[in-house]
Amino acid sequence: MLAALICAIPLAAPLAIRGPIEGPFREMTFDQALAAAKKDGKVVLIDFFTTWCQPCKRLDKVTWADEGVQAWLAEKTIPLKIDAEKEAKLADRFEVKAYPTIVFVKLDGTKLDAIVGYKDPKEFLELAKDTLAGRTSVVRAEEKLAATKAGLAGSENDPMKRQSFAKELADAGKYEEALAEYLWCFDHGAEASPAYIGVRGSFLLGNIQRLGKEYPPALRALQERRDKAEAAVLAGTDLRRNAPDMTALNRTLGDQRRNLAVYDKLREEKRLDEAVKDRLIREIAPLLVEAKRYADLVEDAGDVEEWVHREIGFVKSTPLPTKDKDPEMVKMMEASQAMYAFSKATELGLWYEALLGAGKLESAAKVAGEIVEFVPKAGIYAALIDNAVRAGAPDAARALVERGRKELPEDEKKSLERAAKRIPTK
């Protein structure tokens, strides 16, 4: 649900278009608001939003529209609503890293505190009143940390509780202590609780990676463990543990080429153990496709048709990750799920390309058919057409165009025809 409540900053955000000021907000510059706050003895409140952020829109519709919230804002603040992409310098000044971010500004122009993500009217008012009373997010984090630490007493070998404690330490700015707890979880958590193994290779590593953005020793700790696991894999030592560790750590560190180098070395030396191959091949598939090493990928991947079928089945069977019955929230989660399905379909196009490039035309056609049935959108047809062109299979690309012309709605066919023009004529 967290992803639906906070929009992270994208790599390339859509063009922001400033709309009219809505609700309780003042139409003035930041400097004008600061002057007004000094005159009236209030604080400046800034709702940093973007035009593409769905939680921001929900904040507008629910929280800012609430009469109690509007009355409190009018009494205590000079409220501004600022498009963070139009006012990037101001957003940077207040360290805005996700949307929406609601910043409280003191009379000297410095940040008093910030609330990140969507909050309903009741929660917003509680947090806002706490902030003006001096119980800022730092104070709340310290209180939560103390409560979590107290709950940990007697459960020191429970990796989930220690991971939770580590997160509270990180939120409170105690980075060194947080890293120590996280590393205990990575190094010993699965020994204490075998069921922790899945969390260890996913959520835990994500937490350490995020900590590394603020505290570089966290990334160095991951690199050290990656190097150790990699050396063990190359030596053929305890592959059941070290192969998953190596691949997961390289994924977290954004260094899949290290996985590719290990794959190539073991393959060349004919030492590519099945367990290691299974771990590596899914990680390095994009790199093998990029290098047009289609035959290697298809040979080592096993039953590609079955793999694609299982991946699609998994997405289809995943329920909406919320029990929230609010129509707006359900709509947001459905949109998020649709985006994930689109992303997964695009990712699976790499396997279609590999099959074509390896000459497995019948299997490729079956995979393409399952992908477009899974997400019957012009964008997926276009992506698959480009996959076919890269694989040197223009006939397969043309077959996709013909299928799209028959099955896509009229309003999507322009995108299909643009993709068709990218198919070589000879």
Backbone φ/ψ region at 311: left (φ over 0), alpha (ψ -120 to 50), beta: alpha
Q: Looking at per-residue confidence, does 77 or 138 come out higher?
A: 77
Residue 74 CA to residue 72 CA, distance in Å, equals 5
Q: Which of 12-16, 26-30, 33-37, 317-321 has the lowest mean pLDDT?
A: 12-16
Q: Which two tokens stand for residue 43?
A: 């604080």
Section 329-340 average pLDDT:
82
Catalytic residues: 53, 56
Residue 142 CA to residue 25 CA, distance in Å, equals 32
Residue 370 CA to residue 314 CA, distance in Å, equals 14
**pLDDT for 53-73, tens place per residue?**
889 999 999 999 999 999 999
Please determine, for residue 7, whether its predicted confidence score (pLDDT) is greater than 80.
no
100: preceding bond cis by omega (within 30 degrees): yes
What values do phi and psi take at 219, rounded to 5?
-70, -40
**pLDDT for 172-190, tens place per residue?**
788 999 999 999 999 999 9
At 120, the pLDDT band (50, 70, 90 cuts) reads: very high
Q: What is the CA radius of gyration of the chain?
A: 26
Contact by Cβ (8 Å): 175, 214? yes
Q: What is the reported pLDDT for 254?
A: 95
Closest CA to 200 of 175, 220, 221, 182: 182
**pLDDT for 78-107, tens place per residue?**
999 999 999 999 999 998 988 999 999 999
CATH architecture for residues 136-215: Alpha Horseshoe (1.25)
Q: What superfamily does domain 2-135 belong to in CATH?
A: Glutaredoxin (3.40.30.10)
Mean pLDDT of the chain: 89
At 17, the pLDDT band (50, 70, 90 cuts) reads: very low
Checking DSSP bridges between strand 101-105 and strand 111-116, what pairing results, if any?
antiparallel
pTM: 0.73
Residue 193 CA to residue 188 CA, distance in Å, equals 9
